[in-house]
Amino acid sequence: MLQKEFRQIFRNKGMLPIIFIMPIVQLLILSNAATFEIRNLKIFFVDFDKSSYSIQLKNKFFQTDYFLTTGESENRAIAEEFLARNEADIICEIPSDFEENIIKYGMSKIFFKINAIDGMKAGLSMNYSLNILEGFIRNLNEDLSFRLNPQMEANRIKNININFSNWYNERLDYKTFMVPALLVLLVTLIGGFLSALNIVREKEIGTIEQINVTPIRKYQFIIGKLLPFWILALFVFTIGLLCTRYIFNIPLSGSLFVLYAFAAIFVLAIMGIGLFLSSVTDTQQQAMFVFWFIVVIFILMSGLFTPIENMPIWAQNLTKINPLRYFMEVIRMVVLKGSGFSEVKNHFMIITLFAIGTNAIAVWRYRKKS
Amino acid sequence: MKRFIAFVKKEVYHITRDFRTMLILFGMPVAQILLFGFAITNEIRDANIAILDNAKDHVSEKLTHKLLSTGYFKLDSYLQSTDEMESTFKKGKIKMVIIFNKQFGEDLTKRHSADLQIIADASDPNTANTLINYVQSIVRDFVVDLNRGFTAGVRIEPEIRFRYNQNLKGVFLFVPGLITIILMLVTAMMTSISLTREKELGTMEVLLASPMKPIQIIIAKVLPYIFLAFLISMIVLLLGYFVFGVPIKGSLALLLFELLLFVLTTLSLGILISTVAKTQLVALMMSVMGLLLPTIILSGFIFPIENMPMILQWISNIIPAKWFIIIVKDIMLKGSGIEMVWKETLIIAGFAFGFIMLSIRKFNVRLG
């Protein structure tokens, strides 16, 4: 049985390159494309003031690599048009008495209009802009208080300095965040699709009847079906890990053994789902559709793109039945933070339960059918 | 004409008979849009943080209270020493540690300046960034309160207006993208599979031998799918509108016209695939690998195109979906008219024309 399955896999010359090359290509393209890192925001200035302060403020924006200036005008309508045409992400309007008000009253206003179709981008744009504004104000304060009251006032104003450090990913590199998680995706797709399509294929072609009449035991049949894909999925995982290490230069902080152990159990759980689908559907096309449907939901709810903590409570509870979520957490913890077995103990327990559960259901379904 | 209608009927039966596929075709977009609308947000609430309060004085307690009362943060635990930080981070329970220096309050009253340290778990860079920004703005407010009564230096009040999507909802971006993907899935993938199925089963020959013209056969085959695609897009539009308040600011007629144009493009792609592929599986693989994945990844549907490396940005230009998504976003959210989107419309029309020509040629060759 095992030999047959292996032979079937290797005989299919068209599938092999897909299985081995696809993951690498996907990893390369996805890690580059799948980025929410936001830089080069296009900013458009409407400067009614044209004073030395407004120029200073604008220079502050130029100096960061978050913003790119796309243009400047004294006409609001032109700015609006830039925003509408996607040629600007954010409009910064400086009112005409900007400098005068600062000097006279120590208070002024500034307006930002942000294209918010992409909500997250808009939120970050706002944060970046406010930080720049904050820096500008700080400079002004140092400047002004020095000019007005050289000794007294400057000391009066209380201040809290914030020092922050970013652990585990100092340069805030988005790829470091995404690549390990993409490995989970790869393993899920390979393990899941192959096992989902396999038995269904035998059914469609009719060869399942032939296997059913052989003296092979049910558990032998299931193991024979699963083992080759299991090895294949772990092999793909290995390729992916090597890419992570040597192409993306993301060092593995934690234990390789913990990672593999988890991956091994995880693939079992996913294959259980695949097998189950395989036994309830009638054609490959159907199996593919159903699996695709389930995987898309699993991916969206796994914390791959958006943190689970941001979801409403009911959705957070839903993610508890999502095996991808656990692997996603474990791989990020182990690879980036160097968490050890004791820290991911619970994850191990849950995923083992998943593996046993899904496979038990799959075997039970299969028995009923034959 | 009667024959033609009979043929369309046959196709409709074919499609509606496969109950499971139908269920998924309708269920998938509905489930996805509900998920995206309700569950997938980037708004951070209740992020778990730990506090290491070395000062334990009046001011540090006040600031802690202020931080925790905003709703952005939830206290996971008080740490006793810096040694505990590492292990707490590794358990993955907290996103950030805030450290008060020993004489926080004293420094503030005597030296008028105190240090606050933040350590963020940057394995998720955007979350780390956002959290740090939150703390900064809360502390900023806190300092302003402290300085009340003194001349608090210069204040510049920013007034921020979010255009097109005031509450920064993720669904706004998602509805146009989802419609595009569904159109692709239903028209390109389903038609290519259904045409190759006839080929694989050998029934194509029978059809071609019938008195109907090949072009009629194809039109009859794709008509139900066009209808299906429209129906599902309408469901998505309505859901977006009524459940999440995604507006349709521009003209609905223009939107439908663009929809039709895009459907023509994807349909001709589907027909093109079916003329090349011999079996259903090959057709399926081709449409998934060649159409669906590039569309999802490179169309700007999920990931902003501006952030990609140049090569990928160039490649994205040959993906019709990219242009379609721009058009739909502009019409729905910005209320743009044809004068704003004519360029993109022309590009899609070009694609449609090219693919139709190509598939007609291919189809004729196959007949000969």
A346 touches chain B (CB under 8 A): no
Counting DSSP H helices and E strands in chain B, the numbers are 16, 5
Give contacts of A85 with chain B, Cβ < 8 Å: 340
- In the prediction, which pLDDT does A265 show? 92
Q: Evaluate the CA torsion angle A42, A48, A54, A55 in order and state its sign.
A: positive
Express each pLDDT in A108-153 by its tens digit.
889 998 887 777 778 778 878 888 888 888 788 777 665 555 444 4
Whether B89 and B180 map to the same domain: the answer is: no
The per-residue pLDDT for A36 is 66
Spatial separation of the C-alpha atoms in residues A357 and B309, rounded to whole Å:
43
pLDDT averaged over chain A?
A: 80
Distances in whole angstroms, Cα of residue B290 to Cα of each of A8, B293, B365? 25, 7, 23
pLDDT at B75 over 80: yes
Residue B222 lies in a domain: yes
DSSP B134-171: HHHHHHHHHHHHHTBTB----EEEEEEEEES-TT--TH
Intervals of CATH 3.40.1710.10 along chain A: 41-156
Query: In the predicted model, is pLDDT for residue A318 greater than 50?
Result: yes
Using CA atoms, how far residue A361 sits from A192, A280, A284, in Å, is 16, 11, 20
**Neighboring chain A residues of B24 at a CB cutoff of 8 Å:** 289-290, 293
A68 touches chain B (CB under 8 A): no
- Are B361 and B308 within one domain? yes
Phi then psi dihedrals of residue A313, to 5 deg: -55, -45
Rounded Cα–Cα distance for residues B137 and B132 (Å) = 9
- Same domain for B275 and B326? yes
Question: Which residues in chain A have their CB less than 8 angstroms from residue B323's CB?
Answer: none
Q: Which of A166-180, A330-344, B53-67 has the lowest mean pLDDT?
A: A166-180
Give B185-207 pLDDT, tens digit per residue: 778 877 887 788 777 777 777 77
| Predicted pLDDT of residue A45 | 92
pLDDT of residue B368: 37
Domain-located, residue B155? no
Q: Give the pairing of strands B73-78 and B47-53.
A: parallel
Residues B205 and B322 grouped into a single domain: yes
Which range, A209-218, A279-288, B75-84, B286-295, is most confident? B75-84
| B228 and B116 in a common domain | no
Most confidently predicted of A32-46, A209-223, B322-336: B322-336
Interval B255-279 mean pLDDT: 85
Q: pLDDT tens across A33-49, in order?
A: 766 666 778 899 999 98
pLDDT digits (tens, 9 = 90+) for A269-308: 998 888 888 888 877 767 777 887 788 888 888 887 777 8
Q: Mean per-residue pLDDT for A183-191? A: 84
The answer to whether the CB of A76 falls within 8 A of the CB of B161 is no
> For residue B285, is it within any domain?
yes
Asked if residue B193 and residue B70 are part of one domain, the reply reads: no
Q: Which of residues 158-177 of A touch B (CB under 8 A)?
A: 158-170, 172-174, 176-177
Higher pLDDT, A194 or A169: A194
> What predicted TM-score, i.e. pTM, was given to this entire model?
0.74
* Per-residue pLDDT band at B366 (split at 50, 70, 90): low
Let me know: does B24 contact A290? Beta carbons within 8 Å. Answer: yes
Per-residue pLDDT, B365: 52
**pLDDT for position B43:** 67
DSSP secondary structure code for residue B185 in this structure: I
Query: Is residue B29 located within the same domain as residue B81?
Result: no
Which domain does B328 fall in, by range? 2-39+169-367
pLDDT band at A99 (very low <50, low <70, confident <90, very high): confident
pLDDT number for residue B90: 79
Q: Per-residue pLDDT for A261 more than 50? A: yes
For residue B168, the chain A residue with the least C-alpha distance is A119
Residues 214-243 of A with CB under 8 A from B: none
**Nearest C-alpha in B relative to A137:** B154
The residue ranking higher by pLDDT, A205 or A324, is A324
CB-based contact B297 A29, cutoff 8 Å? yes
Same domain, B230 and B362: yes
pLDDT of B57 reads: 86
State the Rg of chain B over Cα.
29
- Please indicate, yes or no, if residue B151 is contained in any of the structural domains: no
Instruction: Please indicate, yes or no, if residue B27 is contained in any of the structural domains.
Output: yes
* ipTM associated with this complex: 0.70
pLDDT band for A370, please (50, 70, 90 cuts). very low
First CA to last CA distance, chain A? 17
Which of B114, B146, B178 corresponds to the end of one domain?
B146
B96 and B173 in a single domain? The answer is: no
Domain-located, residue B210: yes
Q: Of A1-5, A246-250, A253-257, A326-330, which range is least confident?
A: A1-5
Same domain for B202 and B342, yes or no, is yes
Residue range A41-156 forms a domain whose CATH class is alpha beta
Q: Is residue B156 included in any domain, yes or no? A: no
Number of domains into which chain B is organized: 2
What is the CATH classification number for the domain harbouring B114? 3.40.1710.10
Contacts of B146 (CB under 8 A, 6+ apart): A158, B108
Q: Name every chain B residue with its beta carbon within 8 A of the beta carbon of A86.
A: 326
